[in-house]
Amino acid sequence: MMFQKNLAQEEAVQTHNGPVLLVSCPGSGKTTTMLRRINSMIESGIQARSIVMVTFTDAAAQEMKARYIKECGDCDVVFCTIHSMCLRILKEYSDAPVNVMPAEIQYGLLRQCFRKIHVPYRNSEMLKGAFTDISACANSGDEPNKFHPVSVDRSIFPALFAAYQEAKHEAGYLDFDDMLCACRDMLRSNSAVLAALRKRYSYLLCDEYQDTNLMQKDILYMLAGDTANLCVVGDDDQSIYGFRGATPGIMLDFEKDFQDAKVISMDTNYRSRPEIIEKARNLIGHNKERFQKDIKAARDGHGDVIVKTLKIRSEELSWIAEKVQSMISDGISARDIAVLARTNLQLEDLACTFDILRIPYTAGESIHDDYEHFIFRDLISYLTLMEGNWDKECFLRILNRPVRWLKESLFSTIDGFDEKAMVQLAMLHKPYDKRAVEEVRQLYKVLYGSRQCSLVDKIKIICNHCCYRAFLCDYADSTGTDPGVFFSKLDFFLREAVKYRSVSEWMEAAKRHVAAHRRKLSEKDDNAVTLATMHRSKGLEWDHVFILDCCQNIMPGKNPATAQDKNGSEKSASEIEEERRLFYVAMTRARESLYLCNYAYREKKIRQSGENPGFTGVAPSIFLAEMQEDLEAKKKKIELDEKNRKESVCAVHDAFLEGSPATFATGMEVHHPEFGTGTVIRKTPAFVIINFGNESKMFFLNL
């Protein structure tokens, strides 16, 4: 078989023993290099069954194994994730039964935990966020009371964390984090098991090492032991899973942890055109916590990096769709095109635009149907109640949408449209009981008084009289989302509502619509445009890449608001660095051309039906400016300027042979061999300014 070779790759392939760190830039051929290294180890006499190749995902493990078998032949090398390896160890050596908790049971347990601590959860997104926070806390080793959650208020997180751990234990399940924790504890406490595993797996390789957390690092280090036959490969510039406990510091500390480690830099990119590499290199150079590296492009020729600014977001979506359609018409294969965004929500509107233009796309299960959006669920909850059908779950859902400062726990006892009971409960809200009473009365008036209206009119009442549009504006601000994303959904539902006479009829149609959407996404289309988040794009590549919504407060965004904090806070320096790494990952997916799209204005004010919206300016992402700045060239210029300054400092005394800092004084007449006679107009300990008639010159003094 033929491989593309360079000196760094060859050194990595031939170095079999001891600790090895491969710092690999995007498109450097790290997977090929790792497979060649495994093959070289086996050819040198190392037993295949003693080699473990740890990957970040099951899909990556299976893909790498299949590729190795295809290129090198079948073997006994273990390709696995660290979670599957830990599970295998626990099942073999643990005295207690090992039951891994399915995802659907996790959600059920967490719902119970929220109820147990008397905290309402708003939606599935909040549950997902809570899982992420609990996992990040478990992997970080922090105490729950010292952890900073994103999904819920910090004051309730310790109770939620404890309730979840207790519920898990009572149900007899382990989650994915427990696998790691239990395995680490076993390796620490049972020297016989650790010795047996070290003997069995005497050579460890770890891919995507920048994505490991402290617990995973501990497990790998313990298994490596004193021989330290541990080879890790990754790119600190692509560390993008901070919310899972990953940090580039783990990779940066490898040399400190292993004093005799061999560090090999694979800094040649075989994927992208030079223009793309240049802009990406300029961008990531603004990060402080990283290995310094000089990424080089192996490919010649011209590549495009185009920044496209549209007026508003709808125009941005239309431009991308029309550009993609034009590229396909010109003979470019749809499979060679991708559109990347920060979140799935940003991609959903684009998917609708693609549907209108009949542009084929693939997005897995990540793109939700319009009827799966939380706005539709909110509207249905309102409409169900407005039709006179009492539903406690619907009532509690809309109670604080918009925020009415009403405690859901108080109203959980109510069982129908009883204005008197609602007012009595509102009176328990101190010190805002008057405000709460007024909010309750207004809500009752809307719910009870609009029964005879059409679905469309009811939605207009919800938007205007219930201030639902205002709620969407606030929610957009707290999440760093353009309100237009939500308003476009709302306008879609207004158009759809005309078709139906009742809520039940609309809900049945919605179910059919969602089912059809799911069927479409499940159909495998080998020639379709890829829509993906930046996180999901990692490890992939396309000829042509579009990045959506390159706007400030989106990329980088604000911190998501917590349950009690309605305003997103500014991100820390480390968070900005992670978002810069994420943008860098997205940029380096492109082989031939890269389109960075943004918009200049977004809807600002609450829009009443038929009124023209107000707009506010949207700043482009700071990353767009940073990628234009060649920091290396700037550094060299600074060094040259400093050199010239020092030379001028020395030259001033050569020019003024009889002068010194002590003898220069304001008003003094001096003579310079080049500029002639002049007058000192300013004197400081560091420099003098001399006027030579037509111009003034500054001379630095050699102190």
Q: Say if CB 559 and CB 357 are below 8 A apart.
A: no
Q: How far, in Å, CA of 654 to CA of 675, rounded?
A: 14
pLDDT at 233 (0 to 100): 94
End-to-end Cα, the chain, rounded Å: 66
Length of the chain: 703
**Tokens 């049972």 — which residue?**
190
pLDDT at 563 (0 to 100): 37
For residue 290, give the H/E element and its range.
none
Q: How far, in Å, CA of 700 to CA of 651, rounded?
A: 9
pLDDT at 632 (0 to 100): 66
Question: In sequence order, what are the beta bridge partners of 687?
Answer: 700
Question: In sequence order, what are the beta bridge partners of 554?
Answer: 557
**Tokens 């992997």 — which residue?**
139
Q: Say if CB 56 and CB 246 are below 8 A apart.
A: no
pLDDT at 145 (0 to 100): 85
pLDDT at 650 (0 to 100): 44
User: Phi first, then psi: what are they for 533, rounded to 5°?
Assistant: -75, 160
Find how far residue 187's CA is from the centre of its chain.
33
Tokens representing residue 122 in the block: 């708003």
Q: How far, in Å, CA of 131 to CA of 457, rounded?
A: 39
pLDDT at 103 (0 to 100): 73
What is the tens place of the pLDDT at every residue in 661-688? Answer: 556 788 888 888 778 888 888 887 777 8
Q: Among 169, 235, 177, 225, which residue's Cα sits nearest to residue 202?
A: 225
DSSP assignments along 164-232, one per residue: HHHHHHHHT-B-HHHHHHHHHHHHHH-HHHHHHHHHH--EEEESSGGG--HHHHHHHHHHHTTTT-EEE
pLDDT at 19 (0 to 100): 94
Q: Among 697, 676, 686, 344, which residue's Cα sits nearest to residue 531?
A: 344
pLDDT at 122 (0 to 100): 59
**Tokens 């190392």 — which residue?**
46
Buried/exposed code over 451-485 (b: 16+ C-beta within 10 A; e: otherwise)? eeeebbebbbbbbeebbbbebbbbbbbbbbbbbbb
Question: In sequence order, what are the beta bridge partners of 362?
Answer: 530
Q: Say if CB 509 and CB 482 are below 8 A apart.
A: no
Q: How far, in Å, CA of 295 to CA of 274, rounded?
A: 10
Tell me which residues of the chain have a pLDDT lower than 50. 1-3, 560-569, 606-611, 648-654, 657-659, 703
Q: How far, in Å, CA of 537 to CA of 452, rounded?
A: 49
Q: Among 235, 110, 108, 105, which residue's Cα sits nearest to residue 165?
A: 110
